[in-house]
Every structure is written in C-alpha cells, then in structure tokens.
Structure 1
C-alpha cells in the first residue's frame, strides 16, 4: 500500500513539474508550469539545468505555459540563457 502512495505522489509531481534547459549563458524554461505556478531554473553544472515549480504568491501574475524571460525572472532562478 505504501508503494502505491509513493507512485501516485511521484505521478502527481511529474504532471506539475516545470523544466529548464541549458543554453549558452545559462538556463531557459523548456516546460512551463500551469497557471498559478512559476518556474525557478537552476544550473546544475556540466551544462545542465532543472526546474523547480513554486506556487505563486497572492498578487503575483503567473499565466499558464509562460516560458518567456520575464516569467523566468519571476521564478527567481538562473535565466542567463535568454540573453
């Protein structure tokens, strides 16, 4: 039973997760989050990045499927690949 709970939590996390890819200079959002969420791109080393999905604070504008430089900056991470 415990294994099923872990499986469903992992499945749910996979559907919410954003992702970032490395481009020369830093990270860019490659898989944007859903409405109400922002993506924090993180440089992991060796020319790789990942994304951490964070729920937006009250009053923040976080549209669905936004992978622009502005949305990356909203996430507060590494957005150097947009330059």
Structure 2
C-alpha cells in the first residue's frame, strides 16, 4: 500500500509530495522551472537531512513560520 503525503502545493505546477512505499520514501518535486525531480530515501532521517539542506533556515529569514510548517510536513511523513 502506498501512502502519499503532500508537503506543499502552490498549484498543479509547483508542489512536493512524498510517497511511502514500504520502507522506501519517494519524494517528487514538481516545479514550473525544473519540471519533475524524483528522490528516493531509505529512511526518514535521510529524508529530513535532505529537507534541511534543500530548505536552509537562513533562506527563510523573516518567514520562519513558513519554514517551521515545511519541516513539520516532512516530520509527519
């Protein structure tokens, strides 16, 4: 059984989802700039490590609440 988690969805061209496929986590990032990127993780800590590198807290200066919500969405996977 595949369980799908939505991390964010701005519109149908800018979104990120994570599918849990057994022990594997498949992250799909769709953007109007880059198209679709797919990343596969074998553990939740690996996913969180990637998320923190992909979305550095410094990039969200003045929008810390947005960063917190993003990290919370990843933690709920």
TM-score (norm 2): 0.28
Richer in helix (by share): 2
Bigger strand share? 2
- Greater relative contact order (Cα 8 A, min sep 6): structure 1 or 2? 1
